[in-house]
Structure 1
Amino acid sequence: MITTVTLNAAIDKTYYLPSFPMGKVSRVQRFHAAPGGKGINVAKVVAQLGVPVTATGFVGGMNGEIIKQMLTQMEIAHDFISVEGESRICLNILDEANGTSTELLEPGPTVNDAALKEMEVRIGELASRSKIVCFSGSLPAGVPKDFYVKLVSIAKEAGAYVILDASGDALRFGLEAKPDMIKPNEDEVAALLGIEVTDEDALQKAVETLLQKYEMDRISVSLGGAGSLTASKGSSYRVTTPKVEVVSTVGCGDSFVAGMAVSLARNLPLEEGLAMASAAGTSNAMTDQAGLIELEEFEQLRKQVQIDRL
């Protein structure tokens, strides 16, 4: 089983507008709502790829109940901890005239100490029966900046392979627990090492340095439409993805993580995992919903991913 952890779960709402003029009233004719937050997006793609998954994290209020109800309707197992306050709504406004995407993200509820302790216990329970645990996304109010250190340590002690997809202080502190895999961007790699990354050669060296410093299994760095760079023990890979018509990039990184998690759960070689992860991220970019892939399209893309060993 794969467990995904979303400490700041959300309802993702997408508004489709012919145009989005600033400072004027816009009437929404079409919209879509789905359970969201980075870890939940991972869970949705894992489920679509046919691997058992359980989503956990914090939810609050009526929005939290709606998140759980929607996951149940999608036949995705969940085991959330309820807190006071309302889970956030994340709004994505798609301007169809110029192809832009504007995101508005609420902060979410404040988590108290009792809920933090409960989450530590819950992670231990779920990790003990999971092969992979994915920690994804930001920390809600009330959660210490170093909380991922505890959770990653608990999951690793339970025997799970841990993927951490976070940014800023959450990532910086989380690295202290030595997760097995992280998925930073170029800027985060540079910030973690306190250096300037000027080109792909410098990025490769920086990623390999990070990998060795924190004794990780692999690091994947997204390069957007240009593909990705992955370093593992003793080898680095440059991945080029097929050119597609991008509808929205929201959730592409989460879909990449899901593909990698599924490949690990199935004991696939790293190169096959990179193809699966890249195809999932690319397929998601061709949709207007985060955490959605089209399986036939995914399989075609998987064959078109180019992987070069550096």
Structure 2
Amino acid sequence: MITTVTLNAAIDKTYFVDGFELGRVSRASRMISYPGGKGVNVARVAYLLGGPVRATGFVGGSNGSYIERQLEQQGIANDFVRVEGESRLCLNIIDPVNGRSTELLEQGPEIEEAQAAAMKHKIRELAAQSKIVTLSGSLPKGLPASFYAELIAIVRAEGAMAFLDASGDALVQGIQAKPFLIKPNEDEVEKILGKKLERVEDVYSSVYQLMRDGIRCVVVSLGAEGSVAGYDGIVYRIHAPRIEAVNTVGCGDSFVAGMAVALERGDSIQQALKLATATGTANALMPEAGNVRLEDVSLFLEQVRIETIA
């Protein structure tokens, strides 16, 4: 089983506004609403790919009830910890005229000590039933930057693989607990290692260093240029298919879902990277984050190129 953890779950609303400008009244031509947060996106895409998945995290209020209800209607098993306050709203305004995306993200509810303890217990329980546990997104108010590291230690103690997709201090401290996989971008790698990455060769050397530091699988996102990945001491350059993106929000989450599904079923690392890249690319063709068409995934799977660096 794959367990996805979203500590700051949300309702994602995407508005399509032609010629969107700040400081004036705008009318949306279309609006899409769905459960969100990075881990929820991972769960939805993993489910679409046929992976056995369960979503957990914190939810609160009527927004939290909406998240649970919608996931159940989509067929996605979930087991959340309830908290006081309202789960957040995250707005994405897409201008189809110029292709620009503007995001407005609420902070979400504040987590109390007892609720944090309940989440640790929940993770221990679900990790014992899982092969992979993905930990994605921002930490809500009330949780220390070390919280992901604490959860990773629990996941590893139960024999599951921890995937960490976070940023800032939560990522830096989470790495200290040695998750199985991390998926930073170039800016995040610079913060982790304290050095500039000016050439792709610098990315290669950084991936080697992170593997030497105890991270078995490192994937550095290069956006439309694909990614650089390291696994068991070998570095790979992954070239993604070229497309005209509709919405890039959720592509990273879809990549994580592809990796999780492939590795959960025992695929090779090359097969996993291909599926992850094809899935992330397919998400970019969808108006909402964390959604793919299987026919797109199959098409792109044949177009992903992987070269072994060393």
Q: TM-score, normalised by structure 1?
A: 0.98
Tell me what 1:184 maps to. Answer: 184
Cα distance in 1, alignment partners of residues 95 and 187 from structure 2: 28
Cα distance in 1, alignment partners of residues 165 and 98 from structure 2: 30
SS of equivalent to 1:304: coil
Deviation at 1:18? 1.8
Cα distance in 2, alignment partners of residues 118 and 22 from structure 1: 42
SS of equivalent to 1:152: helix
SS of equivalent to 1:177: coil
Tell me what 1:157 maps to. Answer: 157
Cα distance in 1, alignment partners of residues 217 and 28 from structure 2: 43
Deviation at 1:197? 1.1
Q: Describe how 1:1-310 pairs up with structure 2 within 5 A.
A: 1-213=1-213, 215-310=214-309
Cα distance in 1, alignment partners of residues 149 and 305 from structure 2: 35
Q: CA RMSD in A?
A: 0.7
Query: How many equivalent residue pairs?
Result: 309
Deviation at 1:21? 2.1
CA offset digits 1:38-71 (Å, max 9, x no partner): 0000000000000111000001111111010110
SS of equivalent to 2:57: strand
Name the aligned partner's letter for residue 294 of structure 1.
R
Name the aligned partner's letter for residue 65 of structure 1.
S
Cα distance in 2, alignment partners of residues 94 and 189 from structure 1: 29
Cα distance in 2, alignment partners of residues 16 and 234 from structure 1: 44
SS of equivalent to 2:176: helix
Deviation at 1:210? 1.2
Q: Does the Cα contact within 8 Å between 2:207 and 2:235 map onto a contact in 1?
A: no
SS of equivalent to 1:256: helix
Q: Does the Cα contact within 8 Å between 2:54 and 2:76 map onto a contact in 1?
A: yes
CA offset digits 1:126-153 (Å, max 9, x no partner): 0000010000000000011100111010
Q: Does the Cα contact within 8 Å between 2:19 and 2:95 map onto a contact in 1?
A: yes
Name the aligned partner's letter for residue 228 of structure 1.
S
Cα distance in 1, alignment partners of residues 26 and 51 from structure 2: 41
Cα distance in 2, alignment partners of residues 156 and 223 from structure 1: 28
CA offset digits 1:178-236 (Å, max 9, x no partner): 000100011111111111111010111011101111x1211001100001000112211
Cα distance in 1, alignment partners of residues 99 and 122 from structure 2: 41
Name the aligned partner's letter for residue 65 of structure 2.
E
Cα distance in 1, alignment partners of residues 17 and 195 from structure 2: 42
SS of equivalent to 2:5: strand
Deviation at 1:75? 0.6
Higher mean alpha-carbon deviation, 106-115 vs 92-101, is at 92-101
Cα distance in 2, alignment partners of residues 28 and 188 from structure 1: 34
Q: TM-score, normalised by structure 2?
A: 0.98
Name the aligned partner's letter for residue 226 of structure 1.
E
Cα distance in 2, alignment partners of residues 288 and 223 from structure 1: 21
Higher mean alpha-carbon deviation, 32-41 vs 187-196, is at 187-196
- Segments of 5+ residues of structure 2 without an aligned counterpart are none
Cα distance in 2, alignment partners of residues 113 and 71 from structure 1: 27
Cα distance in 2, alignment partners of residues 27 and 190 from structure 1: 40
Name the aligned partner's letter for residue 155 of structure 1.
V
Q: Does the Cα contact within 8 Å between 2:208 and 2:233 map onto a contact in 1?
A: no
Deviation at 1:27? 2.0
Cα distance in 1, alignment partners of residues 272 and 96 from structure 2: 34
Cα distance in 2, alignment partners of residues 164 and 64 from structure 1: 23
CA offset digits 1:248-279 (Å, max 9, x no partner): 11000000000000111011010000100000
